[in-house]
Amino acid sequence: MRSIATGVPSGPIEGARRSDLANIRWLLNVSGLPDQDLTEQMLGHFLVYRDEIGVAGVVGRERCHHAALLRSLVVADGHASRGLGTRLVRAAACLAQDLQLQPIYLLTTTAELLFEHLGYRFLNRELAPPTLQQSAQFKSLCPSTARLMVKP
């Protein structure tokens, strides 16, 4: 379902279910994002947007002590550039705030402009907290060229 005025997908963003795992992995693979550490147990930390076909957008968050790591943001091609990525990021940030996880970090190779627009700023990777540096995303799953961003 889309808003007539803007084209922004307007359906609910909700918690991922076990039945979403294959679709989430497919979206991550098509987008070139890692899924090696994605398990059914981790789905409790993922939010999805479903359209009439299935999962059309996903974002995850990972606890790193008192901070959050935003991860695995993907929007299916048919929904790209319509504001769904922004909605997913904001929903994940609200959940992190509800859990008192601040600041929010992320690693990206392609979405710097989106995250800058949402108030994230660049941070040297060497300045990342140790708990973040020990995450699989930071240590091995994301390339060393991925830019670290943070929103206090």
Quick one: pLDDT at residue 69?
95
Within a domain: residue 6?
A: no
Within a domain: residue 106?
A: yes
pLDDT-based confidence at 123, cuts 50/70/90?
very high
Within a domain: residue 1?
A: no
State the pTM of this model.
0.87
Mean pLDDT of 4-22: 78
Within a domain: residue 7?
A: no
What total of structural domains would you count in the chain?
Answer: 1
Within a domain: residue 52?
A: yes
Within a domain: residue 5?
A: no
Read off the pLDDT of residues 53-107 as tens digits, 9 standing for 90 and up: 889 999 999 999 899 999 999 999 878 778 899 999 999 999 998 889 999 999 9
Higher local confidence (pLDDT), 1 or 137: 137
Quick one: pLDDT at residue 52?
86
Q: Which domain holds residue 49?
A: 13-151
Within a domain: residue 2?
A: no
Mean pLDDT, the chain, whole residue set: 89
112, 84 Cβ separation under 8 angstroms: no
Strand partners, 105: 69, 150
Q: Which of 140, 142, 61 is nearest to 104 (CA)?
A: 61
Within a domain: residue 146?
A: yes
- Judged against a pLDDT cut of 50, whether residue 109 lies above it is answered with yes
The CATH number of whichever domain residue 140 belongs to comes to 3.40.630.30
